[in-house]
A and B are shown apart, each in its own frame.
Chain A
């Protein structure tokens, strides 16, 4: 890997806590390796800030390999930055130019209030899952054999693709209405495509959509920005499937 370094300027959202007023602050960072990830660049900036006795920038992150869904960041006006099909932790500095000014903001949505700097509260996503994102089966181990119900590969693969959603919230951050339809529809689709999930399909979609609305997420107006920015490339088909499931549940609910 050819090592190259660049110097960059950063405009980063700073906000002391949920109640404080925030603002964009300017930083300069030199000698950033182009092999560094975006978060490693922020580590480097934080190291510099701490050495200057200044408070480092708070940001969410954990696995740093694109799967936990904890990292966020709205970079130069795009969720997870300019690269496609990546999370911020997989975005590398080779995507930026020497001397470039990079804007970094938190996810912006009513249902994702800022906790500090770039950290937001996404517990609304958890509450949507708690409303119905499961199969009601106890963990006794006394279920039927795993191969008792064959599942066609096409459905199994589609369910898997929907299930790869990491719950990062990029779809919400990218949507002009701050809609969570892509996130919710991914879980609804996964379950609706599998025989194990079909039993509760109607109640599930009604409950999850109800919770989604209560959390203050906006509606879907078919712009499709969510799917473009989704690091796991969750398809818009899922939203269509959820709409069908929802309609079906509405007209046939007991």
Chain B
């Protein structure tokens, strides 16, 4: 029997098509970003980078990530633990609900938050009366980012923890270990790779989120612009080089994320073969 791929010419053709498509669709845009950013030379690049508004956007983006990642780390671990270690009414439902942020468009998520916390929203009136501003300020941006990124950690952990089962934890408890000791010395080491992976994904999304953030941020230059919003705004201002400079930062971050992910997978694979 001869399969299509068996003929060398066909095989070469298929590989060639795949590589060309990859280059065109994935690699070229990436190169274009850096090419555009550095179009007018490295000095202009630095100048654009040290622009006050851009620096503010970098700062805000980092702030969002620094808050979002730990919150979703704890939330994700807690949720995964709950869903995989206990049987309770509504467990299935909860597992489905975790996926809501993936299922709805981020813009819709942003609008819902606006509806809830905006000045004319359900909670907005009360917040306004107490002089607490959530929408069009960093707390709102953090809130929607937490919402959009909350499934990543739990989604990574649940299948793993289901596969591992609770035997080791049961063994630990028969040996007299306290709940915290079990978590720290048995559960955590077993899930650490998946956890780290979830964190990387959460971070990548938290930094790059545009849709939901753009609804609740209000685009106040230097105050509520995250990096993705800044890119968009600079581009609207016909500052192409500036836009691509900020974009190159995001692209760099994406590359770092991919490298970290690859390193983790490589390490995991090496562990597998070692044992």
Q: Do A and B bind each other?
A: no
Interface, chain A (partner B; CB < 8 A): none
